[in-house]
Chains A and B, each alone.
Chain A
Amino acid sequence: MTRSTITRANKDGKGGGLFRRLAAGAGVLAFWLAVWQVISMLVGQELLVPAPLVVVRAFGRLVGTVEFWAAAGHSLLRVAEGFLCAVAAGSVLALLTTRFRLVNALASPLLHIVRAAPVASFIILALVWIKTNALPSFIAFLMVVPMVWANVEKGIRATDPLLLEMARVYRLGWWKTLLRVRIPSVMPYFMAACTTGLGFAWKSGIAAEVICRPVLSIGKKLQDAKVTLETPDVFAWTITVVVLSLVLEKVLVALARRFGRRYGVAD
């Protein structure tokens, strides 16, 4: 087989694979839309379970308004802010707790409390302390910090000591050892924490918005739609959150793959 034949075969294989994946995705989507439609017909009340088409119409109506984009944009910013701060803080805490026993002893109970306590408790407590607009970011931050902290700590502790010895013998130095050995060792744990944490940031951030109701927010829109019994709008806003969360996750993974191959991000 010549090189050009191999290349062509590979390209065909990739193209075929993409088509199959798209077809499979469409099939799964169609299945769940059908299930949704059947449930909606069985219930027979739009107020309880609106049909998919009704929700799509509501979504189309919302997307055409400036308010939709303003609310989605502001919620996105709040969640992203909380998430990014949590990633930074969680990583620093993990570094400190693996490096200093005292910090580990002092901080561990905090980690367990934040993990175990219900989100609602934090939201209600934080309402007393923090401005309404900053609360969703703070709650998203609080929910993601332990996840990043625990995972990065696990990654640091799992760094292969034999690789570190190799780095010492070949005198790679502190910086190169960090870039080429330590960071790549932690990267799978870090990426797992980020992808899971992003979902949690959305969930907790929107929950906080529902309770504290900042003017421009998906949470407030959800709550308003619930109060006015606009169930299709509740569904449409929920779909918005899911789509935003998925898009953000895909962007995060794509960026990590684009720039992080040499730092341990798997293809």
Chain B
Amino acid sequence: MAIMMERVRFAYTDGVSVLEDFSLSLPESGVVCLFGPSGCGKSTLLRLLAGLEQPQSGRIRGLPPRTAAVFQENRLLPWLTALENVALPLEREYPRPQALSLAQEELANVGLADAADQRPGALSGGMQRRVAIARALAYPADLLLLDEPFSGLDEALWSGLARRIAVRNENRLTVLVTHIREEAETMNARILRLEGPPLRRREER
């Protein structure tokens, strides 16, 4: 089922209105890129889709039960190894041995098979980023939210990952927030140009 945002209004406690009467329809599958300048409200839109914020008026329909996300920050648990971090969300869906095996596979896919037993503190920024990406990809979600997922990665790495994500997620919806056009193009994304605040659409390709 497609996701429908209908006349959504959202403001943070400081009173600045980020979304004002905002409507948007997202398809069931494929990659949609929210493209716009920093501070226009893209990340807030993503937070609404993730269920981390609730609209103050209007409604969002069709949000799937399972969502995976790569946030702007890696948000890895420093006391767990890379493998345990990736396996953690999977433990709700599968028995632990299977969760660990799937996590190991996903770490190998992002080129971190040898770093499975390392804790995030022992990994470089780019490696931590890839662990966060592996965690999102391993989780059997119907909606994948990516908030500037490739920041800190070199071109060879991010373009490879971007292509892999696009192919693997053909049948589920991926929402990508970025202000780098090449990332959207590499993922063959439908681009929604946005501006604000308050957030509004400019034109659609």
**A264 to B65, alpha carbons, bound, how many Å?**
30
Q: Is the CB–CB distance between A184 and B77 below 8 Å?
A: yes
Interface size class of B (residues with CB under 8 A): 20 to 34
Residues of chain A from 231 to 267 with CB closer than 8 A to chain B in the complex: 261-265
**A184 to B68, alpha carbons, bound, how many Å?**
23
Q: Is the CB–CB distance between A176 and B92 below 8 Å?
A: yes
Q: Is the CB–CB distance between A163 and B79 below 8 Å?
A: no
A64 contacts the other chain (Cβ, under 8 Å)? Answer: no
Q: What number of A residues sit within 8 Å (CB to CB) of B?
A: 20
Q: Is the CB–CB distance between A172 and B67 below 8 Å?
A: no
**A265 to B78, alpha carbons, bound, how many Å?**
11
Q: Is the CB–CB distance between B73 and A181 below 8 Å?
A: no
A169 contacts the other chain (Cβ, under 8 Å)? Answer: yes
B180 CB, nearest partner CB in chain A, Å: 23
Q: Which residues does chain A contribute within 8 Å of B52, judged by CB atoms?
A: 165, 168-169
Closest to A187 in B: B79
A124 contacts the other chain (Cβ, under 8 Å)? Answer: no
**A265 to B69, alpha carbons, bound, how many Å?**
27
Q: Which residues does chain A contribute within 8 Å of B84, judged by CB atoms?
A: 262
A-B contact list, 24 entries, CB within 8 Å = A162-B75, A163-B75, A163-B77, A165-B52, A165-B75, A166-B71, A169-B51, A169-B52, A169-B67, A169-B69, A170-B69, A170-B89, A170-B135, A172-B89, A172-B92, A176-B88, A176-B91, A176-B92, A180-B77, A180-B88, A181-B77, A261-B79, A262-B80, A264-B79
B interface list, Cβ under 8 A from A: 50-52, 65-69, 71, 73, 75, 77, 79-80, 84, 88-89, 91-92, 135, 139
